[in-house]
Amino acid sequence: MIAEGAHIAGSILDHLQNNKNGMIDFLEKMVSMESPSKDMPSQTVVLDFLGDALRDLDFYVLPIPGKHTGGYLYARPNDRDKTKPLQLLLGHCDTVWDKETLKTMPITQSEGKMTGPGIYDMKAGLTQMVFALKTIKESSLSMPLSPVILINTDEEIGSKESTAAIKRLAKIAVRTFVMEPPLGLEGKLKTARKGLGRFTITVKGKAAHAGLDPGKGVNAIVELSHQVQALYAMNDLDKGITVNVGTIQGGISPNVVAPESKAVVDVRVLDNEDGKRITEKIYALQPTIPNVEVHVEGGMGRPPMQRTPRNQKLWKLAKSKALLLGLELQEATAGGGSDGNTTSMYTATLDGLGTTGDGAHAVHEFIYLDQLLQRTALLALLIISNEKDT
């Protein structure tokens, strides 16, 4: 069986090597289609491009428009065997980059790297998805589990419009492969992710002239400074709990005692219980000076993706398949969240299956081109693996 697996792995890698130029061309075209999360027309262009590629692979493709975003694309094989269990391939085509970023972050190829806005996070992963399926089809390899695909356009802004669909598919899928980029230059797969919360703390005081009647005012900024200290006291790095006051605002004018101030707080936790405890602590915040009000809004959004037994079984499967390609994979915990946080609640999930590189949300964003082929081969091996392996 090991010899047979190595033979199939080698055959897949050879096929991808023969299609390397087409794969790079496909990726370059997609990166050139700049697609900020909140730009609906640009998202339509990318989804149409991906939809055409999947139709060429004999997939049924259904674009679902969004109300405030580009929506999402759903796809499944036209000849899907309804008796087969499902596996979900999940990705996003929105990026954090504004239109015309290509003027300052052009697509380049040099020294084995390829650069461009959104290439690492995560248009390389979408390219892998298409070419893994293409390789499987052209190599006449069977898929014991039927693939279903969801590509959304709002992941970078919280997946608010697509999460319901992601949940529905995750509930009926045996496993989910998330095409987010791996972690670090070692290309570590993401087997755990922190949960994310967002809270807004609003303090209401009383305005007064800072020179004529300062004693009649109650400074909301002063109260907020006390609340910030209380929030930072909730940090527990040993437990992986981070509470960060990311933005503050307040006041009217330098000569007015500030009647209102506001802080937006980012919370990250490794497990749901910590998320509940921190939420309770934040909502229990009380004023420290008289005649002010403290109001709290928000809560935990994406739940943590934890190293559950089923997730670890999927990780071990990936690790064994990678060895057939000469890859020694490592696992890691990511501080950021993804749609894998959502699917992990309902089914076995493996995240970070994209292409090794660096610079997510940074101006030096790039991928390693040799890793584009290897990670696509790994994905193909996972897609053709049996349900019992999961």
- Shared domain for 167 and 256, answered yes or no, is no
- Shared domain for 26 and 141, answered yes or no, is yes
- Shared domain for 379 and 334, answered yes or no, is yes
Q: What is the pLDDT of residue 4?
A: 76
- The answer on pLDDT for 390 being more than 80 is no
CATH of the domain at 337: 3.40.630.10
pLDDT band (50, 70, 90) for residue 186: very high
Residue 50: domain span: 2-193+304-389
Q: What is the pLDDT of residue 32?
A: 98
- Shared domain for 145 and 34, answered yes or no, is yes
- Shared domain for 68 and 45, answered yes or no, is yes
Rounded mean pLDDT, 357-372 = 97
Rounded mean pLDDT, 17-42 = 97
Residue pLDDT, tens place only, 136-184: 999 999 999 999 999 999 999 999 999 999 999 999 999 999 999 999 9
- Choosing from 300, 329, 356, the residue where a domain stops is 300
- Shared domain for 248 and 117, answered yes or no, is no
CATH of the domain at 278: 3.30.70.360
Mean residue pLDDT across the chain: 96
Residue pLDDT, tens place only, 332-350: 999 989 999 999 999 999 9
- Shared domain for 25 and 95, answered yes or no, is yes
| Number of structural domains the chain divides into | 2
Record the pTM: 0.91
- The answer on pLDDT for 389 being more than 90 is no
- Shared domain for 216 and 158, answered yes or no, is no
- Choosing from 300, 334, 363, the residue where a domain stops is 300
265 SS3 class: strand
- The answer on pLDDT for 71 being more than 80 is yes
Rounded mean pLDDT, 362-366 = 97
- Shared domain for 284 and 201, answered yes or no, is yes
- Shared domain for 35 and 107, answered yes or no, is yes
- Shared domain for 64 and 100, answered yes or no, is yes
- The answer on pLDDT for 1 being more than 60 is no
- Shared domain for 332 and 381, answered yes or no, is yes
Rounded mean pLDDT, 277-306 = 96
- Choosing from 250, 280, 300, the residue where a domain stops is 300
